[in-house]
Amino acid sequence: MTTTTRSACLALDALDPLRPLRDEFALPPGVIYLDGNSLGALPKATAARVQQVVTEEWGIGLIRSWNTAGWIDLAQRIGNKIAPLVGAGENELIAADATSVNLFKVLSTAIALQRLDAPARRVIVSERSNFPTDLYIAETLAREHGLTLTLIDADELPAHLNDELAVLLLTHVNYRTGRMFDMAEVTRAAHAAGALVVWDLAHSAGAVPVHLTRDHADFAVGCGYKYLNGGPGAPAFVWAHPRHTERMDREQLRQPLSGWLGHAAPFEFTTGYRPALGIQRFVCGTPNLLSMAALECGIDVFRRAEAHGGIGALRHKSLALSSLFIELVEARCAGYGLTLVTPRELAHRGSQASFAHLDGTRASGGYPIMQALIARGVIGDFRAPDLLRFGFTPLYTTYADVWDAAEHLTAVLESGEWKAARFNQRAAVT
């Protein structure tokens, strides 16, 4: 039985150097929000900033605001604010489009580079449990280019680093289990085998330290609405190592979505496409300015976090929160069919804890258990077929939140309230 008490958790909160950052968010009273790994909470500054864009920059400035309000440069300015969170340099990363669209761009580019340098390599490898959009994009491109998409479990990776591998596509932190790859080690091994690596940072950016340039990654994409708190459907981001963008500049290589804002001089309005230099070539269409403004508010919270220890302090607290939750749940919920699937090793854990559930009849009660928790004001989510996911966003999650969430989970399991019919009616979004 755990010896941790709620009073001890309150004491940790009182000493937490990141505690002031919770006040940056508009968290509803009576809610314990443990789903920032799916949709980040609303920064208090966002509503006013978006309203300003609507009423002043759009309403009064009209088309002039592309120049006077700096709309035309906003995607790159936001990209430069994201870059330090993932170990990228200035003007190497840009906010644009959706994660799926950006993945299509960079995976297509990686394939094109390999077809120039190593045409005999015909295999794309990804994790079987990777997020579906990554697999769907990879499946489409493999079919279009006559390649083979091979899906593996993480521990099978070494056997597939061979002379047939063209591109390795991995999500840095697995969305289901929270398992985190060692980016430096995997990238080094893939390069030694002659492959390029595309990293999806959707569950990494803003939650765990990432060092894209230092670790010699090739390409990366990421999400703006999870740990970056940019709001539902926020713009994503895309990064390419300078060695690749410099080569693309020299050889006039294109990414496949040659939109007008990826042109070297979009306001010349020429009929022929000439790609912009550097990361700008990975832009396609006109950015959604309202969503961009919201995303910038989420990113700016991280700039204020620098005064409280930055990403290192966020990572330390994230691991402390998830470790506490795991300790409490395993001590208090033993015998109720929960099995931890998130790594216990801190070096391999992202910023979440996932538990599989079997109810004794080999059927999962994960969905109704989560619905019963949500009814109590504890918001996590469910991933089929059997996973309860709990995300820990150190910007606003407290140790007392973790204690109280474990209390509610214990009560749901002990009472059996999750078996009620109303919790077993599956909604469209889980």
Q: In what order do the strands lie in the sheet with 381-383?
A: 338-340, 352-357, 387-391, 381-383
Tokens representing 21?
A: 């950052």
Contacts of 3 (CB under 8 A, 6+ apart): none
Residues 97, 102, 105, 106, CA torsion sign: positive
- Angle, CA of 138, 102 and 71, to the nearest 5°: 170
State the Cα–Cα distance between residues 201 and 234, nearest whole angstrom. 15
For residue 216, give Cα distances in angstroms to 81, 179, 240, 249, 255: 20, 21, 10, 19, 20
Please give the positions annotated as active site.
131, 200, 225-226, 389
Environment class of residue 344 by beta-carbon count within 10 Å: exposed (0-12), middle (13-18) or buried (19+)? exposed
Reduced to 3 states (helix: H, G, I; strand: E, B; else coil), residue 122 is coil
**What share of residues in the chain are helix, strand, coil (percent, to 5)?**
50, 15, 40
Cβ distance 234 to 224 under 8 Å? yes
Cβ distance 210 to 186 under 8 Å? no
| DSSP tag of 49 | H
Phi, psi of 197 (to 5 degrees): -125, 130
Dihedral (Cα; 397, 398, 403, 406), 10-degree rounding:
0
Residues 145, 148, 152, 157, CA torsion sign: negative
Residues 165, 197, 385, 426, CA torsion sign: negative
User: What crossing angle do the helices spanning 399-415 and 6-15 adopt, rounded to 10°?
Assistant: 150
Place of tokens 């474990």: 406
Q: How many CB atoms lie within 10 A of CB 136?
A: 13
